[in-house]
Amino acid sequence: MSKLTPEKSIVVLVSGDGSNLQAIIDQISQGKINGKIIAVIANKENAYGLIRAKESNIPAIFIDHKSFTSREDYDAELMNNIDNFSPDLIVLAGFMRILTSEFVEHYHGRMLNIHPSLLPKYKGLDTHQRAIAAGDREHGASVHFVTPELDGGPVVLQSKVPIFEQQDADELAERVKQQERQMYPLVVSWFCAGRLKMANNKAMLDDKVLSEMGYAIG
């Protein structure tokens, strides 16, 4: 991989398993991402993502949201912890909290999220069950820049999976996660190569504005 731009530093926020985190760790160790994860922070003590971080010698920090009386106070503490590392990029990888607009604005243009639906469909929770219940034939995941509107920031990349008859939400979720583990490291690699930016609330790759469905080949 060419290193035309300096290596980018990344803080990853997780709440659970951290399989997306692991995919990014793996691609960094394979030299496919011009970046380094300098900390993993979780709001849940038992988040397996913290163990994955420790196994890769990445500082792993637990900040308990239950110790704070307000969302503002928690986000301020989270921000302090993140800013201690001065990261270039914040990666939300299954971080299951609604963020205050102060927090989101502070990381304007340098915070990415992955959401398990073909945005703008199914913002929020229970996306797999909602897609099945609606009779959709396809579902998927989206990587997007984070803006104050929940799951509403500009999409960078989407990946689709078919919904088969009789498929339950857990099976569908696993198939979506297989796609996520391919697409999230790719988008992180674009950002770390200096190719991906947000400008005027649009995602731009190689100085071209991406469509509302994100990057498409051709």
Of 106, 108, 115, 128, which one is the catalytic site residue? 115
Which span sits near ligand GAR by CB under 6 A: 61-69, 83-91, 114-122, 200-208?
A: 114-122
Structure-token pair, residue 13:
């926020």
Query: Using the rule CB under 6 A, is 214 a contact of ligand GAR?
Result: no
Which span sits near ligand GAR by CB under 6 A: 3-11, 16-24, 60-68, 103-111?
A: 16-24
Q: Which is nearer to ligand GAR, 148 or 194 (CB)?
A: 148
Q: How far is the CB of 2 from ligand GAR (least distance, A)?
A: 29
Q: What residues between 144 and 173 interact with ligand GAR by CB under 6 A?
A: none
The residues carrying an active-site annotation are 115
Residues that bind ligand GAR (CB under 6 A): 14, 16-20, 93-94, 114-116, 141, 177, 180
